[in-house]
Amino acid sequence: MPLDISRLRKKTQTHWSDLWVPEESRYQNTLNILSKVIYLPDHDIQMPMVAVYLWLNSNWATQVPYLFSYGREGSGKSAIATVMEKMLDITCLQAASTAVSIRNEVNNSRFPEGEDGPENDCFFLVWDNVNLQTLEDPKIWEILLSGAIRGKDRVAVSSTIVGENKYFYTFCPKVYSSVWALHANPNYRELTRRTMVLFHEKLSEEKISELTLVPSDEIDFSDFFDVKMQQFFNQESRYLEYEEFKKAWNKARFPKWWDVARKRLYADFAATGFIIGAWKDVSEAKDIIGGYEQGLLRKIGDCQ
């Protein structure tokens, strides 16, 4: 009988539960785990955004930002896609993916029983190493621009039946990476308006030895989604708490520098952070998200 390599591999891995501290919030535990496998410059500004983003529930949300990892080759930008793929139990797409394969992945994963069936929780589209040629495809561009707002995400394509169309629903959080500064390209301004950008940097050998990061494949995340996420979101009271926070966020006053569209973009993100313990109220959420937003505006300005 051949060796069961999958079983043996798990025996050599650290199970995620060994890293989980029950007394700490979901947010703090997620932040701690991510910090073991991912390095980001401006850690205190960027990493909290990643930890909250991972808990976005596509089924609950009505508007979501996208998450874009930007950096040179070897800067670790693919690490976020890899760890999210493992923790959320989804499949990471590669740059060569076509518009058809992307539409199918989102539609079929969101609605496994068809459009009339229930919508799955926490589906992400994770897409690694996107290149400029990819975004020149008008069909892929349509998926990205339409898929950030629920209800505006229906994409129609011709069906095999003459005179009929087939519809795909492309709304979901999207995580993608590239060596190209897509956020600084004026041709992609509409995409940047929907996007949270993470800036990665290539590390020296000395810095790498100081960090003592653990490769994500040394941690067994195989049941993380079922145990920690699916059960967490299967509570009516939690959903109502989430919606109340969204209402408070949308009613709150914001500084003039904060674009109104960006404020709306963060409503579900901010509510997610609240229910997992990233912040205690709207004021604290504004401070943390606003700190990231101001840093993002400066970095994008430096790139242009």
Mean pLDDT in order along the chain per 10 residues (304 residues): 68 89 97 93 94 96 95 85 90 79 83 80 87 83 88 76 71 90 88 92 78 86 93 95 97 91 95 98 96 84 57
- Mention every residue, 6+ apart, whose C-beta is less than 8 A from residue 266: 65, 249, 289
Residue 220: which of 4, 8, 2, 3 has the closest Cα?
Answer: 8
pLDDT of the residue at 303: 58
Helix (H) or strand (E) run with residue 92 in it: strand 92-93
> Angle formed by the axes of helices 267-276 and 43-53, to 10°?
90
CB atoms within 10 A of CB 38: 22
User: DSSP letter at 125?
Assistant: E
pLDDT of the residue at 158: 61
Residue 108: which of 99, 119, 98 has the closest Cα?
Answer: 119
pLDDT of the residue at 21: 96
